[in-house]
Amino acid sequence: MACNDSTCSLEKLRGIPPNRNAQGILPQVTYLQRPQAPPPPDNRGMTFYNRREMYIGIVDYYGDLTMGKIQSTNPSFSMYACRISCLCNQNRYLFAITHPDLNPVGMVINLSRLSWVSFQARVSPEIYRVPEHAYQPSPSAISRVNIHQTEEKVNGVVYKVEGHPLKLELIGKEYFSQTGTIGDALEMFCSVLWFDG
């Protein structure tokens, strides 16, 4: 599209001469007047790019594990999981909860390809048929991020993640410290991490 508006820089950007009809006259262009939306406040308008640091940090910590899609109990979300092998009698899992997608149950995908809204490292009484991994946690910047208690619940404690639009809940009736790090919480396998905003 070309226009005769002197403020239009399309031709300058592309280096294309404006379209002209046989008589050398530019076509008339009508502009719609659209109201300008105000920019979102800093704590809203979450996008992949706001979350990217956390996505990368989790993959750095665990590795790019393969996750299998499992049946979600909530149709508003899709759920991916992998089992973490351990020398204990617990069923330890990592869960990545995403917006609903069209992938079939059983599909396997790498953790790095999931734009999760909640990431969970926890024990489950159920046994899921998903990929199983042994892992050695890698030191990553995300694992050292501090968390601070903001709320105490009957079955857990909620923390604010320092410097990130995240909350983390440790589920259980044990005593939990008022401060710690994301790495500490993930290694307890009773943690639910979600984006706040």
Tens-level pLDDT at each residue, the chain (197 residues): 344 444 433 333 333 344 444 554 444 444 444 344 444 344 444 444 578 889 999 999 999 999 999 999 899 999 999 999 987 888 999 999 999 999 999 999 999 999 999 999 999 999 999 999 987 888 888 899 999 999 999 899 999 999 888 999 999 978 788 999 999 999 999 999 999 86
- Residue 52 is predicted with a pLDDT of 87
What is the spatial distance between Cα 55 and Cα 62, in angstroms, rounded to a whole number?
A: 11
- Residue 140 is predicted with a pLDDT of 84
According to the 3-state scheme, what is the secondary structure of the chain?
CCCCCCCCCHHHHHCCCCCCCCCCCCCCCCCCCCCCCCCCCCCCCCCHHHHHHHHHHHHHHHCCCEEEEECCCCCCCEEEEEEECCCCCCCEEEEEEECCCCCCCCCEEEHHHCCEEEEEEEECCCCCCCCEECCCCCCCCHHHCEEEEEEEECCEEEEEECCCCEEEEEECCCCCCCEEEHHHHHCCCEEEEEECC
- Residue 105 is predicted with a pLDDT of 96
- Residue 167 is predicted with a pLDDT of 95
Q: Partners of 91 in the beta sheet? A: none
What is the spatial distance between Cα 176 and Cα 100, in angstroms, rounded to a whole number?
A: 33
- Residue 89 is predicted with a pLDDT of 81
